[in-house]
Structure formats: C-alpha cells, structure tokens
Amino acid sequence: MRSFAVTGHGRSGSHCRLCRQREGGRGWRSGLASRFAIPAGGPDFECPRGRPWGWRPPDRGLGDTVEWVLAATGIGPLAKRLIRRVTGRPCGCGHRRDRLNRLVPFTPPVAPERGPASAR
C-alpha cells in the first residue's frame, strides 16, 4: 500500500491545516488509512513533514483571518448549518474567503529592485 506522504497531495502540504487538528482532523486521518499506508500510531500519527498539532499556515489574506475567527468562536459552523437549512444550498464560505484574500492580501511588501551602482 502506498504512503500518503509520497503522493502529490501529501507532498504539497495542502491538507496540513486539516490534518494537524488533533480532534477535528481525526476523521480525515482515519479515512486515509483505508486508502494509504499511514505511520504507526493510528489516526493520531506524527506528521511526516514535522508539523506540530495545531499547526496552521500563515494567513494569505483577510478571508483566512475571518474564517479562523468564525471557526474559533463557533459562529462559522453554526452559520453554515443555518444557511444550508434555510436555503437548501451550501453557504459559499470558501468563495467569500478566496475573494477577501484577493481583495486584502497579507503578502509582505516587495523591496524595490536596486539598479547597478552609479559611477560617481
């Protein structure tokens, strides 16, 4: 059986945020065991990339920060359930997050390129 760590998804780090949530990511990690070889220790295995429990990547923009605050306060999951129950459709949170990240990115400013030193 192939190890998840050597797949494209495992190498990309795209699932690290979910996987490193000890309780919230346990179901996802357990699901990996049915398709991939996972490290020893069952669903609470050590990260092959060395990331600690609770690790999350730096926020890319305002959308990531809003998503984190809503999840931490419990408002986000509640709002998702309420919107689905009332409208019968998904909430669209991911699209809003991505749009806010594009509008207000948290990228460090790029230093201006210096040209060759002028002769004095």
Question: Rounded to an integer, what is the distance from CA 37 to the centroid of its chain?
Answer: 22
In a domain, 50, yes or no: no
Please write the tens of the pLDDT for every residue from 44-93.
888 888 889 888 888 889 998 888 888 778 888 888 888 889 999 888 88
Residues contacting 110, CB < 8 A, separation 6+ = none
Domain membership flag for residue 110: no
* Residue 40 reports pLDDT greater than 80: no
Cα–Cα distance, 26 to 15 (Å, whole number): 13
Q: Do 66 and 99 belong together in one domain? A: yes
Q: Confirm whether 70 is domain-assigned.
A: yes
pTM (2 d.p.): 0.54
Model confidence at 120, in pLDDT bands (50, 70, 90)? very low
8 inside domain: yes
12 vs 112, residue with greater confidence = 12
Please report whether residue 108 resides in a domain: no
**Number of domains into which the chain is organized:** 2
Q: Which domain holds residue 68?
A: 62-103
Residues 6 or more apart whose CB falls under 8 angstroms from that of 46 comprise 39
Token pair of 12 as six digits: 């990309």
Length of the chain: 120
